[in-house]
Structure 1
């Protein structure tokens, strides 16, 4: 599937195999993984595996994470978008739609997570009416929790995620 969504500062497009190097640069960065279980990847093969997973999400569910490109520079700054979580139960939920984002640190604090998440939320409710949108963030990651609240998701509860040994905040929005 091809996606092309433009916001004021960003281009959101499908993630492609040629993004493997950029995705590796993102996910091998320990600062990026501070609130993601502190487990950065260590090889390009894992980045490629993640891209294959995203492409499967496009084909099977009609959604997926999008490459996020800064318009002014043309730089790949990370990813934003949607995912169908069908593999793992999380806080008593399985088969739920998740909104998320991950950017290189030099692009934090510019409003890009909020801007891209509004576009993803609008896309979701335009294409999947009647479904619930969920979001989750490590409780210690106040910036991500604020983004989810800014785009209209309501914090429903907090839970302990044993697999990563972290406390997670759970958010939802239904339209």
Structure 2
């Protein structure tokens, strides 16, 4: 199987279920940003020190979940391919909330606005958080035009919070000072 198909050379791509749309379609923009967030999480994993293996496992699970979320977004409701897609469920969102609570409890209380930075893995998690926020905005735009799984939007909203909490935890756990915003 070749990596290239040439079917997108005219500026269109296929959704899951064979429908073809422009590569700037809101649905493609949404799952494209989810893919970018997944890549940023992969970078954060590559920067994690070995002693944070538990976090690496959770980030790997998040990457798989984002792959599923991308498929959810790439599959319009009513598509013949819908039966083959795992849609995001309320339990997925609840799972993120549990992790958010755990990482938040394991770090000092917020004393001001946190700037992205500190350990390279924490900084990469902050970049992933910002990309997830963009993906969330894209899903909101898509939902204004087409039916979207509401749990997908909730998942992205919680995921950005989780990545923030994880970034803080990495800095705390590794003894790296958390960059703080200072009024100029």
Structure with larger RCO (C-alpha < 8 A, sep 6+): 2
Same fold (TM over 0.5): no
Greater fraction of residues in strand = 1
Give TM-score, length-normalised by structure 1.
0.30
Which of the pair has more CA radius of gyration? 2
